[in-house]
């Protein structure tokens, strides 16, 4: 590759997509640098999937310890200590941050710390130092969107939640997406009184409605509070926390307010206009199927493109970019059948079409459901039912969607996603002998 520039590739953002792209491009022989303004690892590792999932594990013990007594275990003096969990989670994040740095170093990728801003289409200012590159990959991710309401600064976002000094006694979580529902489940189990506040009457709007209804029913029974169709007029700081004022009158106090009101692509302050890169709604970078922007040598992957905001998708896009541009092995990401989960309590897992989508796309569909109380819940005296739903294209018998809520649903769903992606038929599901006694055997027993 030509050495007219300092680097063959400059990646902006050392997150899921950026790190993968840098590593693979370097493996193909490119001279690579990565600019990072915060911490190597990005959202997923530092303040997203990983610390969140560790909190979910921590929260689960609350119910497991109660259930344990029904299984003969006598546990005295059990208590939850937030600082212990918080510090252990943050230490694990530090460890992973170190591993990511080592990976980049071992691939001879240079990490340049600082905020990156385009000077022109080939040059980028990183914390006062100008670096030039033949190709530039924008992988700057997304950041929490905070609503434009008076006093919004008195709330925190998912960026801060992992660092709380102490456990709030009460928390209002504004939002109805997966992040809101996950933190609601976690903090409720830690003993915080949680209210989920939503501006419409729907949460998890992309999800199969039957599963969402089940989550609501179970969450209400557990004691979570919901306020729907709620509009905020302002937020006031109080001695103990915040007071939320609603447009239709009334207030609600809480120790903590968490904004979980969506995420916007990180393009502000990037100087895209200096490079001539076009953006679309919410400032997302517009790319084609090969992740190329309107400027030939500038590509973008991950959340900053606002296509599918999930780590494995960002990683795959970064990998496809690096193989295509530097490895002489062009390939494109297949966006069909991306499995997803909500690590709520209980969790949801889903792949493929919902029933409504399938009716639109396939015309005639068959729907199979299994509504059951997991064996463990029966002995524990826990009245929580799981719900599995398979959507089948009636004309081909192909399973086009699988949706589940219940213990370990995301773990089970990943395996089902292979079958749905492979377009297996309902007859092939039925032909598989059940693995007994499991919850997942329901998948091959639905008649
Ligand atoms: P990121 O990983 O966000 O990396 C972008 C990097 O760019 C950051 O390190 C940032 O500091 C840096 N940066 C930004 N601007 C600049 C600049 N101008 N100069 C230099 N550096 C810059 N996804 C899942 O698949 N499963 C989950 O369970 C899940 N849970 C989540 C939970 C939470 C609370 C959050 C917030 C997200 C979660 N996600 C989850 C989403 C996932 O984290 C993102 O989809 C993923 O990290 C996107 O990767 P990325 O490479 O696009 O960007």
- Find the 260 Cα to ligand 1 centroid distance in Å: 15
By most ligand atoms within 8 Å of CB, the mutation choice from 36, 43, 187, 333 for ligand 1 is: 43
Q: Kindly tell me if the per-residue pLDDT of 2 is higher than 90.
A: no
DSSP SS3 for 420 = helix
Nearest Cα to Cα of residue 16 among 296, 424, 302: 302
Domains 7-144+264-326 and 152-261 share a fold: yes
Q: Kindly tell me if the per-residue pLDDT of 3 is higher than 70.
A: no
Q: Is 367 in the pocket of ligand 1 (CB under 6 A)?
A: no
Q: Is 48 in the pocket of ligand 1 (CB under 6 A)?
A: yes
Instruction: Supply the residue whose CA is at minimum distance from atom 43 of ligand 1.
Output: 44
Length of the chain: 447
The encoded tokens of residue 284 equal: 């997302």
pTM: 0.97
3-class SS string, 36-90: ECCCCCHHHHHHCHHHHHHHHHHHHHHHHHHHHHHHCCCCCCCCCCHHHHHHHHH
Given a contact cutoff of 8 angstroms between Cβ atoms, the answer to whether 21 and 318 are in contact is yes
What's the CATH class of domain 346-444?
A: alpha beta
Q: Is 436 a catalytic residue?
A: yes
Q: Is 401 in the pocket of ligand 1 (CB under 6 A)?
A: no
Q: What are phi and psi of 123, to 5 degrees?
A: -125, 140
Q: What are phi and psi of 277, to 5 degrees?
A: -80, 130
Q: Is 179 in the pocket of ligand 1 (CB under 6 A)?
A: yes
Average pLDDT rounded to a whole number, residues 141-160: 98
Nearest Cα to Cα of residue 416 among 437, 394, 439, 397: 439
Nearest Cα to Cα of residue 227 among 184, 164, 189: 184
- Give the residue extent of every domain in the chain: 7-144+264-326, 152-261, 346-444
Q: How far is the C-alpha of 267 from the C-alpha of 304, rounded, in Å?
A: 7
Per-residue pLDDT of 38-60, as tens digits, reads: 999 999 999 999 999 999 999 99
The encoded tokens of residue 404 equal: 């589940």
Q: What is the pLDDT of residue 9?
A: 98
Per-residue pLDDT of 181-213, as tens digits, reads: 999 999 999 999 999 999 999 999 999 999 999
Per-residue pLDDT of 288-339, as tens digits, reads: 999 999 999 999 999 999 999 999 999 999 999 999 999 999 999 999 999 9
Q: For the domain 152-261, what is the CATH superfamily, name and number? A: FAD/NAD(P)-binding domain (3.50.50.60)
Architecture of domain 7-144+264-326: 3-Layer(bba) Sandwich (3.50)
């Amino acid at each position: 590759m030509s050495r007219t520039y300092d680097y063959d590739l400059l990646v902006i953002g050392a997150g899921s997509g950026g790190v993968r792209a840098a590593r693979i491009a370097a493996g193909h022989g490119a001279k690579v640098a990565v600019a990072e303004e915060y911490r190597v690892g990005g959202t997923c590792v530092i303040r997203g999937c990983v610390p969140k999932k560790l909190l979910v594990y921590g929260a689960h013990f609350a119910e497991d310890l109660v259930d344990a007594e029904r299984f003969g275990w006598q546990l005295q003096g059990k208590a939850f200590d937030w600082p212990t969990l918080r510090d252990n989670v943050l230490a694990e994040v530090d460890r992973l941050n170190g591993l990511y740095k080592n990976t980049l170093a071992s691939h001879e990728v240079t990490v340049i710390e600082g905020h990156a801003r385009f000077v022109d289409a080939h040059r980028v200012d990183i914390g006062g130092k100008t670096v030039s590159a033949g190709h530039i990959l924008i992988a700057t991710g997304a950041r929490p969107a905070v609503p434009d309401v008076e006093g919004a600064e008195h709330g925190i976002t998912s960026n801060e939640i992992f660092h709380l000094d102490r456990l709030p006694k009460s928390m209002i979580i504004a939002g109805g997406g997966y992040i809101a529902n996950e933190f609601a489940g976690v903090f409720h189990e830690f003993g915080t009184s949680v209210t989920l506040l939503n501006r419409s009457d729907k949460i998890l709007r992309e999800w199969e409605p039957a599963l969402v209804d089940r989550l609501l029913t179970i969450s209400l029974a557990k004691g979570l509070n919901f306020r729907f169709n709620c509009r905020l007029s302002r937020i006031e700081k109080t001695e103990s926390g915040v007071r939320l004022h609603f447009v239709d009158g009334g207030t609600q106090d809480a120790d903590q307010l968490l904004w979980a009101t969506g995420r916007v692509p990180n393009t502000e302050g990037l100087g895209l206009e200096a490079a001539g890169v076009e953006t679309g709604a919410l400032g997302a970078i517009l790319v084609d199927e090969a992740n190329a922007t309107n400027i030939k040598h500038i590509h973008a992957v991950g959340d900053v493109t606002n296509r599918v905001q999930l780590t494995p998708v960002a990683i795959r896009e970064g990998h496809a970019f690096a193989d295509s541009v530097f490895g002489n092995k062009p390939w494109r990401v297949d966006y069909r059948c991306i499995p997803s989960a909500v690590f709520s309590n209980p969790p949801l897992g889903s792949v493929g079409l919902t029933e409504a989508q399938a009716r639109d796309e396939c015309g005639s569909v068959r729907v199979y459901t299994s509504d059951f109380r997991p064996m463990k819940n029966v002995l524990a005296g826990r009245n929580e039912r799981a719900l599995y739903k398979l959507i089948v294209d009636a004309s081909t018998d192909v399973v086009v969607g699988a949706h589940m809520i219940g213990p370990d649903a995301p773990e089970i769903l990943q395996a089902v996603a292979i079958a749905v992606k492979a377009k297996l038929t309902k007859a092939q599901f039925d032909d598989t002998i059940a693995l007994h006694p499991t919850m997942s055997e329901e998948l091959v027993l639905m008649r």
